[in-house]
Amino acid sequence: MSDDKRKEARRRADRMRAEFKEKQKPLDWFEALYQEADGDPGLIPWGGSAEVGSPGPGSPGQEEGQNTKIQNPWAHGQARLPLIEWLDRDEQKKELSTAAIQLKALDVGCGLGHNAVALYKAGYQVTAFDISETAVKWAARNAAQLPIEWTTQNLLNLPEDWSEKFDLVSETFTIQALYGAEREMAIKSLTKLVAPKGKLLIICRGRRDDTIPKSPPLPLMPSELDQIENFGFVSTFRKDYFDNKTPSNLHFVAEFTKV
């Protein structure tokens, strides 16, 4: 996608976010954005980008030469590369191949569905949801040949019978779009969905101090991730990476296992 189109997509998203915040309907802009894009994924800012790269110079915790690179940028219309890399680890493949029955994964805030497809291809039975009905229909069309269950749901008000249903709950870049009480509720809600011994995977923008950026998203702080352990989880995998923007943005990949 061209830089101009990417910038246009961002401008449209910023405008809609502000409009709906004004109307005191802070979650409704997602549906409006997908509707206005009218089937053009280039008008969805998170539709794809060359977003992973090397650690930022002088970034905290990064020693010179330390390899935290995620090598291949992901292209438009593909799953998030940190998710693919996480799925591709030996321990993850072993868990899937030795499970007595097919493991169930939930893709949170599925957008156009590329991450859900990656979960399916890795071997999970997949349910994927988004608050935007238009996004869900679009994702279902994109992956019409695959037996993925697509559904429109609000993370803040999920079906009761989803409690402890999923062996993997995977969220990429959704919590960071939420603020305040809604964000806290969303994190708590995610923890409830995970089956005993199951995993919660969070891939997100990160920040190391409590400075709030002038414009969204609001990256997660390590303390927000750490609080997940208070809901009966242990941290079982953590990785930091930087994208290749200028200046580069810190991201976290965090896996928690329910005890």
Residues that bind ligand SAM (CB under 6 A): 27, 30, 46, 80, 109, 111, 115, 130-132, 135, 154-156, 172-174, 177
DSSP string covering 54-93, please?
Answer: SPPTT-TT--TT------SPPPTTS--HHHHHHHTSHHHH
Query: Of 155 and 220, which has the nearer Cβ to ligand SAM?
Result: 155
Interatomic CA distance for residues 43 and 33, integer angstroms: 8
- CB of residue 63 to ligand SAM, shortest distance in Å: 29
Helix (H) or strand (E) holding 106: strand 104-108
Provide, rounded to whole angstroms, the least separation between the CB of residue 102 and ligand SAM: 22
- Closest separation in Å from C-beta 200 to ligand SAM: 15
Comparison of 20 and 233: residue with beta carbon closer to ligand SAM: 20
CB 103 → ligand SAM: shortest distance, Å?
20
In the bound complex, which residue of the shown chain has the CB atom lying closest to ligand SAM?
A: 109
Dihedral sign computed on CA atoms, order 82, 251, 203, 111: negative
Is the CB of residue 29 less than 8 Å from the CB of residue 16?
yes
